[in-house]
Chain A
Amino acid sequence: MGRYVARRLGQLIVVVLGATMILFACLFVLPGDPVGQIAGSDKARDPAVIKQLHEQYGLDEPLVVQYGNYVGNLVTGDLGEDYTQGRPVTEILVPKLGNTAKLAVFAIAIDIVIGIAVGVVAAMRRYSIWDVSATFVTTLAIGVPSIVLGMIMQRFFVVELNWFPLIADGSFKSMVLPAVTLAIIDAALVAQLARSAMLEVLRADYVKTAVAKGLSRRTVLFRHVLRNSVIPVITYLGISFGTLLGGAIITETIFNWNGIGLALIQAIQQNNNPIIVGVVTISVAVFVLLNLVVDLLYAALDPRIRLA
């Protein structure tokens, strides 16, 4: 177990390094000198200012050296300074990362609770009106992209009903719409997955054994059926973190939620490369780390999985 985690962490570092290399190669061949952005348009014409800024941000070094510096700093948790404010990227992004994490945790909670509940009810009452409606609603939900859902939510709950603030202030109340928007597609997918997993488990021989043992309906359901049914759901949630992070960019932009997704879009508009690099690096690292956590959880839930 310990050795497995160590090996996976080793792989994880390689993956993150590979990802930053792709990222770095892409970003620093970008058209347009970012320094113009930093100095402001009038000062940018002054060669002395440009030279000084180039030195300050290490932009005069060859790319390989720049990458070396970047990785060296990354190890110590230093993502460099941003171009517009000259503040450390980490200092800017950490609170925003916290906001995104809040949003994501809320969304995953919705996925798990609503998704599994709907899936279980649909499976238990297979072919009933509940099951049919669940299939209908979840299929529809999967077909409504975040950009559309976000717009609709905002139109009705903010513009029409005025229940929530237009600019999210970080309060729980302002988190509801972005979190629901972020969660709905995955909640629908979880519900469908939980339903089919549950139907499969309900037909399993060991459930028949549990009934033949004289266990109560509740014990059979919770101990023998549900636990086995959530295993594929956990696996799915691990994979879906990627979609969740991508979806966070959209929902944060729509609802002005001050997270790293919104920061990324703003940084793109401002050519603020260190922030872009920072957000992408953090996303990749968080994604692979969470996948490791999910694999461990998976192994804990299913003893047949051997971590090797």
Chain B
Amino acid sequence: MSRPPLSKQDEGDGMTSLDLVPTNAGVDATAPLLEVRDLHVEFKVRDAVTKAVNGVNYSVNAGETLAVLGESGSGKSVTAQAIMGILDSPPGRIAKGEIFFQGQDILSLSEKERRKLRGSKMAMIFQDALSSLNPVLSVGFQLGEMFRSHLGMSRKDAKAKAIELMDRVKIPAAAARVNDYPHQFSGGMRQRIMIAMALALEPDLIIADEPTTALDVTVQAQVMDLLAELQREYNMGLILITHDLGVVADVADKIAVMYAGRIVEHAPVHELYKRPAHPYTRGLLDSIPRLDHKGHELYAIKGLPPNLQQIPPGCAFNPRCSRAQDICLTEVPALAPVTERDGTELVGRGSACHFWKETLHG
């Protein structure tokens, strides 16, 4: 089940592919950088099985940014960890599905081969840089580790590279600060170090898991801009995991909205904002405070996120949905293409709602 690896030139010209649902598994010159197919991940603790991811499909091209949106527990981070191969296992396990990276089925690789991919071909940026950096090792050492471990560089050369990297992510006085420890940096600077670490070996794919959530609003924009800038420069694919619709709008090309371990809607970013085709997406958009609605009560989706050990039958969102009908309680809606009123297909869009028409057009 492996495909010939693709060289960089073959990976498209930066034009965004909006196909989230793979159409053809054959050899394909326009195959995406990363493709996740029907991924299922579950966590088994004692007798309880938590179904964290229940059939996710998405793809990312080189130079493209996919935003994955969802509440905590929606499975967005677990999917990312499955791609990176860093699931806590046990108890976590991939129950089903495939992940293709540069045409290769990476789930069939040995752990040693997976490890070589990590850091060099695909890298991850975590949410809380303070807890994600080792408190007892200097940042220079932790950056240099990438070069020493993957390229076998000497300690001294690795440190020089670390300083270079710190310069690259615009940390002032990098040479003077290379021996400092994580706690000696500000939150924004620490996240820059995380970015530098992910970038060290110029990977083809970066997964950023809520990279700005822990930061002040003013710093958020700076860090996001830096990330977007570096992504363009290296033509990397970027998966941006977030719950913040505001962050997504400026940098993402396309969005996948996750709920209870499934993608419930996907769309090019601006279309999703203008015309959501799933009641959950609509709820998310309506709960953003807006200046022109001053004085109105802020909308909130009622109820609580689902219990992943007992996902409701039918559409997982039905207990919280104002549109829910009998069919929603029994049948799981498939992620299907959506169309205009006149039947023309909306390219790159899909919704997993029995009543997408009413939501989109009504």
Contacts and interface: CB of A to CB of B under 8 A. Distances in A.
| Chains A and B directly touch (beta carbon < 8 Å) | yes
Interface of A: 204-206, 208-216, 219, 223-224, 227-228, 231, 301-304
B135 A206 contact: yes
Given A301-B136, A302-B135, A213 B119 contact: yes
A214 B86 contact: no
A44 to B, nearest CB: 63
Interface of B: 84, 86, 115-120, 123-124, 126, 128, 131-138, 145-146, 149-150, 181, 183, 194, 197
B132 A213 contact: no
A227 B136 contact: yes
Given A212-B124, A215-B149, A302 B136 contact: yes
A189 B86 CA distance: 32
B86 A211 contact: yes
Nearest to A211: B86
A212 B81 CA distance: 9
A212 B134 contact: no
Contacts of B133: 206, 209
Contact of B150 (A214, A224, A227, A301): A214
Contact of A204 (B84, B118, B131, B194): B131
B149 A212 contact: no
Nearest to B130: A205
A212 B128 CA distance: 15
B145 A213 contact: yes
A78 B183 CA distance: 48
B149 A219 contact: yes
Nearest to A227: B136
Contact of B183 (A231, A301, A304): A304
B86 A212 contact: yes
A204 to B, nearest CB: 7
A205 B128 contact: yes
A208 B126 contact: yes
Contact of B135 (A211, A214, A303): A303
A214 B128 contact: no
A210 B134 contact: yes
B116 A228 contact: no
A223 B149 CA distance: 12
Nearest to A228: B136
A205 B134 CA distance: 8
B138 to A, nearest CB: 8
Given A205-B128, A211-B86, A216 B135 contact: no
A304 B137 CA distance: 10
A228 B182 CA distance: 14
A303 B181 contact: yes
Given A219-B149, A304-B181, A208 B132 contact: yes
Contacts of A214: 115-120, 146, 149-150
B320 to A, nearest CB: 31
B118 A206 contact: no
28 contacts: A204-B131, A205-B132, A206-B131, A206-B132, A206-B134, A206-B135, A208-B126, A209-B133, A209-B134, A212-B124, A213-B118, A213-B119, A213-B123, A213-B146, A213-B197, A214-B115, A214-B116, A214-B120, A214-B150, A215-B149, A219-B145, A223-B137, A224-B134, A228-B134, A228-B135, A303-B136, A303-B138, A304-B181
Contacts of B136: 227-228, 231, 301-304
A53 B135 CA distance: 63
B325 to A, nearest CB: 42
A213 B138 CA distance: 16
User: Shortest 4 CB-CB distances between A and B: which pairs?
Assistant: A214-B119, A214-B118, A205-B131, A206-B134
